[in-house]
Amino acid sequence: MLIKPRKKSHLLRTLEILNSRMDLAEDERLYYLSLAKGYQGEKLNDLWVERLHEEILVLHDLLFEIRNTQFQIDTLIITQERLYLLDVKNNEGDYIYKNDGFYTLSGNETKNHLHQLRRCESLLRQLLQTLGYNLPIEAYLIFNNPEFYLYNVPPELPIIFPTQLKRFYQNVNKQPSKLSEKHKVLANKLVTKVIGDSRYSQPPTYDYYKLLKGNACCSCHSLLTIVVKKKVICTDCGHSEKLEDAVLRGVEEYKLLFPERKVTTMAIYEWCGGIVSNKVIRTILHKNYKLIGLGRFSYFI
Ligand SMILES: [Zn+2]
């Protein structure tokens, strides 16, 4: 049973919008791409998790803080006897495992996912103790990109490779799972402990007047879109979206980037790059938001 779904983080959503509307610095762009790739990998893994039976509780995307230390869990699965902590990696390419770390074939040491996993497991254990729980935790690194390979890996390491995913989840599904009230209370307590975005995740600075305007494509984020009948068509990837949905997405993007600016017909007309008429935008805003005030000082919430 899904208790907490996955949502794109505020930072990822912000970077996604900014990437098509300004030139991100190279390091920001690479960071954005790694976040987007990570999210894509997590969504892919969610497809497996979705197939677990109903008596298993699933929580995605948890950011906690304990004793001033933040830690993030991609997926937490609660069964009758244990918790499964999953750290999902979308790495591709060849790596070698040595000295308890991950190296590229050319010998460069890379991020140590195992250390990160152990740290996360230990912090989760501490959090559970503060909540009065003492369930065993099994923590795994899930590599779900079929283009990934790790040489020299001892079989006892808690790593699941793409070819093992099916058996791994079949195994989880076979665990006895008669959940009691205390499991559900735990799941809900954990949800209340989730904090907002990480204090380390600061988007780059941006300026309304310097951003490109347009109704971004919901598939490839290109701004090269046109309106044909009641649809917004992307001239880059050919994706087509209902006009109203596209405008509402534009409004949400505008609100996300500029929470201090008021949503008005004129503002959204400008934000969408003038491809949708004022009249249509006004109709859509009236239908979906509440109008505050009158005349030229009115705005929508
Ligand atoms: Zn597109």
What are the residue ranges spanned by the domains of the chain? 2-193, 208-300
pLDDT attached to residue 72 = 94
pLDDT attached to residue 83 = 96
For residue 154, report the distance from its CA to the centre of ligand 1, in Å: 44
Say yes or no to pLDDT of 296 above 90. Answer: no
For residue 236, report the distance from its CA to the centre of ligand 1, in Å: 5
pLDDT attached to residue 267 = 95
pLDDT band, very low/low/confident/very high, at 178 (cuts 50, 70, 90) = confident
Summarised one tens digit per residue, pLDDT across range 249-262 is 999 999 999 999 99
pLDDT attached to residue 21 = 96
pLDDT attached to residue 175 = 85
Contact 88, 75 (CB under 8 A): yes
For residue 240, report the distance from its CA to the centre of ligand 1, in Å: 8
pLDDT band, very low/low/confident/very high, at 43 (cuts 50, 70, 90) = very high
pLDDT attached to residue 169 = 96
For residue 223, report the distance from its CA to the centre of ligand 1, in Å: 8
Summarised one tens digit per residue, pLDDT across range 98-150 is 988 999 999 999 989 999 999 999 999 999 999 999 999 999 999 999 999 99
For residue 241, report the distance from its CA to the centre of ligand 1, in Å: 10
pLDDT attached to residue 94 = 96
Say yes or no to pLDDT of 200 above 80. Answer: no
DSSP label at 263?
A: B
Alpha carbon 109 to its chain's center: 27
For residue 234, report the distance from its CA to the centre of ligand 1, in Å: 5
pLDDT attached to residue 269 = 96
pLDDT band, very low/low/confident/very high, at 176 (cuts 50, 70, 90) = confident
pLDDT band, very low/low/confident/very high, at 294 (cuts 50, 70, 90) = confident
For residue 217, report the distance from its CA to the centre of ligand 1, in Å: 5
For residue 16, report the distance from its CA to the centre of ligand 1, in Å: 13
User: Rounded to whole angstroms, how far apart are CA atoms 47 and 74?
Assistant: 13
pLDDT attached to residue 61 = 93
pLDDT attached to residue 218 = 93
Tokens 């912090």 label which residue?
123
pLDDT band, very low/low/confident/very high, at 185 (cuts 50, 70, 90) = very high
For residue 218, report the distance from its CA to the centre of ligand 1, in Å: 7
For residue 288, report the distance from its CA to the centre of ligand 1, in Å: 25
Summarised one tens digit per residue, pLDDT across range 3-42 is 999 999 999 999 999 999 999 999 999 999 999 999 999 9
For residue 216, report the distance from its CA to the centre of ligand 1, in Å: 8
Say yes or no to pLDDT of 229 above 80. Answer: yes
Q: Which of 42, 80, 44 is nearest to 61 (CA)?
A: 42
DSSP label at 204?
A: P
Arithmetic mean of pLDDT over the chain: 93
pLDDT attached to residue 295 = 79
pLDDT attached to residue 272 = 95
For residue 79, report the distance from its CA to the centre of ligand 1, in Å: 41
Neighbours of 142 (CB within 10 A): 26
For residue 21, report the distance from its CA to the centre of ligand 1, in Å: 14
Say yes or no to pLDDT of 161 above 90. Answer: yes
Two tokens, residue 213: 């305007």
Distances (CA, A) of 161 to 45, 120, 143, 292: 12, 20, 5, 54
For residue 254, report the distance from its CA to the centre of ligand 1, in Å: 19
Instruction: Say which range, 46-55, 77-86, 158-167, 290-299, has the weakest mean pLDDT.
Output: 290-299
Say yes or no to pLDDT of 97 above 80. Answer: yes
For residue 235, report the distance from its CA to the centre of ligand 1, in Å: 7
Q: Which of 225, 272, 201, 246 is nearest to 8 (CA)?
A: 201
